Amino acid sequence: MMNGRADKHRVAVIGSGNWGSVASRLIASNTAKLPAFHDEVRMWVFEETLPTGEKLSESINQAHENCKYLPGIKLGTNVIADPDLESTVKDADMLVFVTPHQFVEGICKKLVGKLRPGAEAISLIKGMEVKMEGPCMISKLIKDTLGINCCVLMGANIANEIAVEKFSEATIGYREDKQAANRWAKLFTTSYFLVAVVEDIEGVELCGTLKNVVAIAAGLVDGLDMGNNTKAAIMRIGLREMRAFSKLLFPSVRDNTFFESCGVADLITTCLGGRNRRVAEAFARNGGKRSFDELEAEMLHGQKLQGVSTAKEVYEVLTYHGWQELFPLLSTVHEICIGQLPPTSIVEYSEHTPNLSLVGGSTPCY
């Protein structure tokens, strides 16, 4: 039982982009009123100099707003931006990771030996690392590098909508430690942000990871003006491949997880309104003549596109196992992204006839 401020949980958020800022705001609204948590939320900022010459962290602390990644939204006076990673985490026992997935390993290595005893983590990061021994989920990377328990939170969570408190849901995935998962759910749950807890960390995390690849496909369809029927078909095929890929990698993944917010709901919202869909649409409208890197820089103003890098990582896994023909949509997205195929190939499966007996699902008639 907690007695006094010293025993309260202290929260640190590692990341201050669009979703990191929204997560900090959401968490801070709860730590300000829940007795189990210290009210201050420290948010690590990768320091940048704004056009005004002011440091981003200083701007956030003065205006209580992230003018670059979440303009016009007050974060709360109890959100403290800190450009020093070690300083951000030194007193915290609850760490929220919310950075682009390609930076996580480097961040974790800097934190080895710097955390409080008993610290635990949750990852809001959608992506995976591919190593020689196979794919490594971000939660496992955090757990193994830092030696701490790590849950995940995924869902139909377009950050700007949550920032203005529109109703949303999310899913927390955990392994064995339900008490820790419930503690995270308490930290995140509000009247407009409802959180469910599921004992399927790989399923929850892979849903959040793979849906960005399908969103690229949906954006290509939009950019080619193929219509709603085609987009619906791509989303359905994408969901089937997400489920099959997840269960081949981790047989413990549960079918019901795909009906949680992290599954079909996140897929729908990302294919309708996410940044991956938007940039892929522009890529298709330009006939694939402008690279995703160029469009990302122009359209996202410093935010990172996860779908293209995840498609590459998924393709590496498929190639390693010889699974490309089992996953025509996931394979084709990567091949389009690197310019090997034109955007129109997104609906051309003549070279990729899947063996659906292994993947699962009905067999179309050709």
* 126 neighbors 98 (Cβ within 8 angstroms): no
Q: Which amino acid is residue 38, in one-letter code?
A: H
Matching residue, tokens 């995935």:
173
Q: Residue 85 is encoded by which pair of tokens?
A: 């990673």
Beta-bridge partners for 195:
170
* 334 neighbors 316 (Cβ within 8 angstroms): no
Give the integer Cα–Cα distance in Å for 271 and 282.
14
Beta-bridge partners for 43:
13, 81
Q: Which of the following is catalytic: 68, 211, 231, 247?
A: 211
Give the integer Cα–Cα distance in Å for 181 and 183.
5
Handedness of CA 283, 288, 290, 296 (dihedral sign): positive
Give the integer Cα–Cα distance in Å for 198 and 145.
24
Long-range CB contacts (within 8 A, 24+) of 296-304: 299/275, 300/275, 301/68, 302/17, 302/48, 302/68, 302/69, 303/17, 303/18, 303/69, 303/275, 304/17, 304/100, 304/102
Residue 211: active-site member: yes
Q: Where are the beta strands (DSSP E) in 70-125?
A: 79-82, 94-97, 120-123
* 12 neighbors 173 (Cβ within 8 angstroms): no
Q: Which amino acid is residue 206, in one-letter code?
A: L
Pairing assessment for the beta strands 193-198 and 150-154 based on DSSP bridges: unpaired
Pairing assessment for the beta strands 37-44 and 9-14 based on DSSP bridges: parallel
Show which residues are catalytic: 211
